[in-house]
Amino acid sequence: MNFAQMKKNLKILPFLVVSIYALLTMAGCVTQRDFVWPMSVEEKVDRPVPPGASLVWITSEDTNEKVEGWFFPAPDATATDKAPALIFFHGNNEVMDHCLEFPETYSKYGISVLLVEYRGYGRSEGAPGKERVRSDMIKFHEWLLAQDIVDPQKIVYQGRSIGGAVAADLAEVRPPAAMILTSTFTSMQRMFWRFGVPGFIASDKYRTKEVIQNLDIPVLVMHGKRDNIIPVNNGRDLGSARDDVQYIEYDANHDLPVVWREFEQHLINFLRENQIL
């Protein structure tokens, strides 16, 4: 190749780079739902309601689609002796069926648990998205408030991975008594850039850190230092969002915890310190 041809190719190179970047951006726009909500495209799961739980269905206001939840009442809760309650928001690549260890754990301490599903996940209808999920979570929150065994002043949100972002998003409009975030990102835009996708195309703009900064509630952030999905810097940034945020870092990957007993004790200590228990 002669010098003139090389010079011509160098002039074309920036246009090729820009064109490829534009194509990747367009592809990201089209496929981002599968990136943000991958389990919504999986096959449906079929599992009976666990013993001791009540089946909860809410109906979406926009499309009349059914979204499922499971409610595990605290063993000794009554209308005259109300108990704290916790809403658990699961992560991606799982459904609420995979989270039974949380109601099992919290029931020992007299806490009711509501496991909630996202549209398109498990047996729930429709397709997920930030505004749709927020609307559904508001309905679940209202359902929980209507239960006469639940102390409305002691409702806690706990979210794992993207579930932490969903919890924070709900907290923005329905503040809880306290919030627990595990393996959660600071913003969806940051996660897009993490995987090489331009952050500005994210339609579900979850801004978890910003929500924490604007809330005046106790927050516990837990993250694994070896997290290969949502890097630990996200957890550290959430932990520093306010001076009073409690941050715990584990020698673990994305799937906390390694030792359940230690993890459980940190959760219960946080709830006790903030007068939930």
Q: What is the pLDDT of residue 29?
A: 45
Q: What is the pLDDT of residue 43?
A: 63
Q: What is the pLDDT of residue 136?
A: 97
Please tell me the pTM assigned to this model: 0.86
How many CB atoms are closer than 10 A to CB 71? 23
Q: What is the pLDDT of residue 201?
A: 60
State how far the Cα of 115 lies from the Cα of 229, in Å rounded to an integer: 23
Instruction: Classify strands 178-182 and 246-250 as parallel, antiparallel or unpaired.
Output: unpaired
State how far the Cα of 275 lies from the Cα of 100, in Å rounded to an integer: 25
Q: What is the pLDDT of residue 55?
A: 97
Q: What is the pLDDT of residue 46?
A: 80
**What topology does CATH give the domain 37-273?**
Rossmann fold (3.40.50)
Instruction: Classify strands 66-72 and 54-59 as parallel, antiparallel or unpaired.
Output: antiparallel
The CA-based diameter of the chain, rounded to the nearest angstrom, is 89
Residue spans of the domains in the chain: they are 37-273
Q: What is the pLDDT of residue 16?
A: 44
Q: What is the pLDDT of residue 24?
A: 45
Residue 119: which of 214, 178, 39 has the closest Cα? 39
Query: Digits of tens for pLDDT over the chain (277 positions)?
Result: 555 555 555 555 454 444 444 444 444 444 455 657 776 656 677 888 999 999 999 999 888 999 999 999 999 999 999 999 999 999 988 999 999 999 999 999 999 999 999 999 999 999 988 999 999 999 999 999 999 999 999 999 999 999 999 999 999 999 999 999 999 999 878 676 566 665 556 667 899 999 999 999 999 999 999 999 999 999 999 999 999 999 999 999 998 888 999 999 999 999 999 999 9
Q: What is the pLDDT of residue 30?
A: 43
